Amino acid sequence: MITPSQTSSKVRLMFDSINDICHQVVDFLKAESIETNPKAYEVGDLFARSLIDILGACVFGIKVDSFKESNNTYYKNAKEISCLASLGFNVRMIGGAICPKLMKFLGINLLNVDKVEFLKNLVLSNIKTRRSTKAKHSDFIQFLSDVHEKEGINQNLTSSEFSDDNIAYECIFLLLVGLEATTSVLNFLAYELAKNPLIQEKLFEEIQTFREELKEGKLSYEILLNMKYLDMVVSEGLRKWPSFAYHDRICTKDYTMEYETGKTYTFNKGDVIWIPFVDYHRNPKYFLHPENFDPERFSRKSSFN
Ligand code: HEM
């Protein structure tokens, strides 16, 4: 139902909400630095809180400030459910893949049921309020409700297949796939910028050149798209530190691949193939000195583009 291309086109519509949360974070940090002496922050927590608030506004249709109210219930549930790197989650995921029947028999679920229920009820109550007030919003609940309504009618599907519960589960899915992927790349970017002050300086200078174009101090989607060096820095961050280690795809027809050594291997229709990103991204055959953090690889002049 949702593809990455659809999500990127929706970002434009949700840009103001994202911008508002970023201002909320900056205002909080400024106020804190005035009230107290300069303080050290754990960047992982800073990004996670900001993104959970952004997903709250763009996906769950709620306005939260997880900096001012650091222990709000939405933040706690969203944070705990989306901790995909935890040992417990990975053990449950492997268990579910190897012996799904045993996991079911033991009543072990991949995700914490109470947290799923909390987030589901959040979406359901939002949908209910919107229906009664007929209010329209620029967020995923609206987008998914519109798609469900249209597809449900067009394809004459039963209500259970296009139910409100389904919208809620899709919102939870967005939280799971979006949060970890985004915080991961932001954390690594912060690390690389700290290690490479010249790159940080150049990026800062580029951002400064757009200052005058800001309307009432607010960034617009169009200005963001014009920040070419920022784009190069993010691309290099995703190259060196991809959020996902591999892609998996199902082979749609038999295909024989020939290696440089002359050996061949035949993939059969239906085979599941794992494509290891990291191996390509860190391979000197494709990226010279792959261990270096070098955004210039992604400049228009570069041979990589
Ligand atoms: C820097 C951050 C992100 C990166 C690097 C990233 C990367 C990716 C990649 C590589 C895929 C393709 C997976 C595959 O086809 O095997 C994907 C799919 C997807 N992403 Fe992201 N993503 C990011 C952020 C987000 C966010 C914030 C959202 C939503 C709020 C999101 C929603 C999705 C969805 C819905 C899919 C399709 C999943 C599916 O087809 O099963 N992503 N993402």
Distance of CA 194 to the CA centre of its chain: 23
Give the relative orientation of helices 113-133 and 164-195 as an angle to the nearest 10 degrees: 110
- 4-8, 86-90, 107-111: which is most confident: 107-111
Mean pLDDT, residues 23-52: 89
Pocket of ligand 1 contains residue 244 by CB under 6 Å:
yes
Q: Which two tokens stand for residue 107?
A: 């009543």
Beta strands of the chain (E only): which ranges?
246-250, 255-258, 264-267, 272-276
Q: Quick check: helix, strand or coil at residue 2? A: coil
Mean pLDDT over all residues of the chain? Answer: 88
Pocket perturbation via mutation, ligand 1, pick of 2, 7, 249 by most ligand atoms within 8 A of CB: 7
* Residue range 153-191, pLDDT digits in tens: 666 666 666 788 989 999 999 999 899 899 999 999 999
CATH number for the domain harbouring residue 23: 1.10.630.10
Which of 177, 195, 213 is at the close of a domain? 195
Q: Is the pLDDT of residue 1 over 60?
A: no
User: What is the spatial distance between Cα 297 and Cα 286, in angstroms, rounded to a whole number?
Assistant: 11
Pocket of ligand 1 contains residue 185 by CB under 6 Å:
yes
- 5: CA distance to ligand 1 center in Å? 9
- 244: CA distance to ligand 1 center in Å? 9
Does residue 280 share a domain with residue 191?
A: no
CA 132-176-60 angle, to 5 degrees, is 20
**Which residue has the least CA distance to atom 42 on ligand 1?**
178
* Residue range 97-131, pLDDT digits in tens: 788 888 888 888 888 889 999 999 999 999 999 98
Does residue 292 share a domain with residue 150?
A: no
Mean pLDDT, residues 18-23: 94
Residue 229 within a domain: no
Does residue 179 share a domain with residue 41?
A: yes
Pocket of ligand 1 contains residue 4 by CB under 6 Å:
yes
Number of domains in the chain: 2
Does residue 97 share a domain with residue 160?
A: yes
Residue count of the chain, please give it: 305
Boundaries of domain holding 281: 247-298
Which of 157, 174, 195 is at the close of a domain? 195
